[in-house]
Amino acid sequence: MRSVRIIPCLDVDRGRVVKGVSFVNLRDAGDPVELADTYVREGADELVVLDITASVEERATLTELIAAIAAKVFIPLTVGGGVRRLDDAAALLEAGADKVSINSAAVADLGVVEGIASRYGSQCVVVAIDAARRGDRFEVFTHGGRRPTGRELGTWVRAVSEAGAGELLITSMDRDGTGRGYDRPIYELARSLTSVPIIASGGVGALEHFVEGARLGVEGLLAASVFHDGLLRIADVKAAMLAAGLVTRPADG
Amino acid sequence: MSADVVVADCGFGNMGAALGAWRSLGYEVTRSSDPATLARARLLVVPGVGHLGAVLRELRQRGVAEVIAERDRRGQATLGVCVGMQALFEGGEEAASEAGLGLLEGWVVAMTGAPRLPEMQWNVVSVVADAPPPLRVLDGAWVYFVHSYAVATTPHALATEEFGGRWVAAAGRDALLGVQFHPERSGRRGLAFLDALFRWVRTEA
């Protein structure tokens, strides 16, 4: 049967989990290995780790961090941030990641998506898309939401799906950090244009947002701050979804 | 000297995950592409991600296909995971020109009728009553799947999942076992299966 995954996201800067509103004003939120372990115990279905470290040199520690998480956590692990080449993906998969997430590098060269998909299979390639409203359309942004690309979301969703993306992680920049719930129109648009699984991201502030999100027909629901702040616990999210008649792995499953 | 568990290293994907799960259970696990080392393992694990045709070609080129067949003849335990399981069958729609290893009867087909592909999610498995004990611990459990192709029917089916149809989640006979899901990514239930599997192998062998 079809089930919905609950996915805590760890944004990591220089080895620490950070959180911010609309991609700015970052604050420390803890140790990534400890947080990962806690979330898995509470029933997380998958973890996403995104390295937002600015400098390339400091990024070398990412593979060590992934190895430390992977040694402790035995659920699917998606890692992104600075994946530019096949070699970057290879190092992360070797360290224990199951999937790599690509954002800016895919916009710069879609061949990176094709290359990783043909070497390791589509199921290893998540294309992360940050999008924001521009009039009645959604525009794709890169570089942590700082750089507009001029690309329209729908066109981009089709292009990356054809290039071999196995999953799309779509963040609404308008909703991110607002606590107002997932951005319904973005996911309705994306679902109508691709057949690959979609993870919705940005905007969760209450339990019912997960229930509403699951009803959008997406495969995964990602959240960060509500979990880091202790506002919501994953077990409670699962219980609320099950009570609403939705299919998801129980927290103690 | 031979390790408890040897993971066949054929250059596919997430070796880190496959090794880490066994290590966390306290078993001595190594990776190897050397056919002699693979032949000696108490339990050989054949992972596999990506394209069935590519996996079959790698298994043949590296001499691993012959090791799996020989282990099967000798009754030594082998676990195929995901595409590593699919490779054990007669062949598949994804790679029509490349013969499967033919150790299990059945064909790997596209998951027609699935709500969305790949199936990349947790799902419940139903385990048949006379399945080996390590699989029985998973009856009704949620495990993690990532696949677009699956076996629909085989006389060797030991467990099934429902995803727009009924698909084989585990199959095997004697000491040969294949699982379509990823036990190394299925949380504590997945680890419990791996632990039970090795204990079973040690008792039976």
Q: What is the pLDDT of residue A107?
A: 95
State residue A61's pLDDT score: 79
B120 touches chain A (CB under 8 A): yes
**pLDDT tens digits for A168-182?**
999 999 999 899 999
- Closest approach of A96 to chain B, Cα-based (Å): 4
Complex ipTM value: 0.92
Query: Does A22 have pLDDT greater than 60?
Result: no
Structure confidence by residue, pLDDT tens digits, B88-97: 999 999 888 9
Per residue in B111-156, pLDDT (tens digit) is: 999 988 899 999 999 999 999 999 999 999 999 999 999 999 999 9
Q: Per 3-state DSSP, what percentage of chain B is helix, strand, and coil (rounded to 5)? A: 35, 30, 40
Chain A residue nearest residue B82, CA to CA? A123
What number of H helices and E strands is found in chain B?
7, 13
Radius of gyration over every alpha carbon of chain B, rounded to an integer in angstroms: 15
Class of domain A5-243: alpha beta
User: What pLDDT shows up at residue A102?
Assistant: 96
Q: Is the pLDDT of residue B160 over 60?
A: yes
Confidence band for B186, pLDDT divided at 50, 70 and 90: very high
pLDDT in tens, A68-103: 999 999 999 999 988 999 999 988 988 889 999 999
**Between β-strands B149-151 and B107-110, what pairing exists: parallel, antiparallel or unpaired?**
antiparallel
Return the ∠ at Cα B114 (arms to A156 and A187), rounded to 5°.
Answer: 35
Q: Poorest-confidence range of A25-29, B75-79, B89-93? A: A25-29
Looking at per-residue pLDDT, the higher value among B20 and B143 belongs to B143
The pLDDT tens digits for A102-147 are 999 999 999 999 999 988 889 999 999 999 999 999 999 998 888 9
Core vs surface per residue B29-68: b (16+ CB within 10 A) or e: bebbeebebbbbbbbbbbbbbbbbbbbbebbeebebbebb
The pLDDT of residue B13:
62
Cis peptide before B118 (omega within 30 of 0): yes
Q: Cβ(A210)–Cβ(A204) under 8 Å? A: yes
User: Rounded mean pLDDT of chain A?
Assistant: 92
Checking if the pLDDT of A54 tops 70, the result is: no
Q: What are phi and psi of A185, to 5 degrees?
A: -60, -35
Is residue A205 within 8 Å of A178, Cβ to Cβ?
yes
Q: Does A77 touch chain B (CB under 8 A)?
A: yes
Q: Does residue A27 surpass a pLDDT of 80?
A: no
B176: left (phi over 0), alpha (psi -120 to 50) or beta: beta
| Nearest-5° Cα angle at A171, A44 to A200 | 45
Q: Which residues of A touch B141 (CB under 8 A)?
A: 253
d(CA A27, CA B137): 43
- DSSP 8-class letter at A52: -
Task: Note whether A74 contacts B51, CB cutoff 8 Å.
Answer: no
The whole-number average pLDDT for the span B39-67 is 93
- Chain A residues whose CB is inside 8 A of the B185 CB are 74-76, 98
Residues 6+ apart with CB under 8 A from A246: A4, A211, A214, A215
Q: 3-class DSSP state for residue B92? A: strand
What pLDDT does A19 receive?
Answer: 78
**In the predicted structure, residue A21 carries a pLDDT above the cut 70:** no
CATH code for the domain of B47 = 3.40.50.880
Of A184, A215, A176, whose CA–CA distance to A9 is shortest? A176
Task: Enumerate residues 6+ apart whose C-beta is below 8 A from A18.
Answer: A11, A12, A26, A27, A28, A29, A52
In b/e form, how buried is each residue of A124-147, taking b as 16+ CB within 10 angstroms? bbbbbbbbbeeeeebbbbbebbee
What phi and psi values does residue A96 have, to the nearest 5 degrees? 130, 0
For residue B7, give the amino acid letter.
V
Number of domains in chain B: 1
DSSP-derived letter for residue B179 is E
Residue B102 CB partners (closer than 8 Å, separation 6+): B89, B90, B91
Average pLDDT, chain B: 94
Digit-coded pLDDT (tens) for A186-197: 999 999 999 999
Q: Containing domain of residue B158, as a range?
A: 5-204
Confidence (pLDDT) at B21: 92
Is the CB of residue B27 less than 8 Å away from at least one CB of chain A? no
Of A15-24, A225-234, B41-50, B166-175, the poorest mean pLDDT is in A15-24
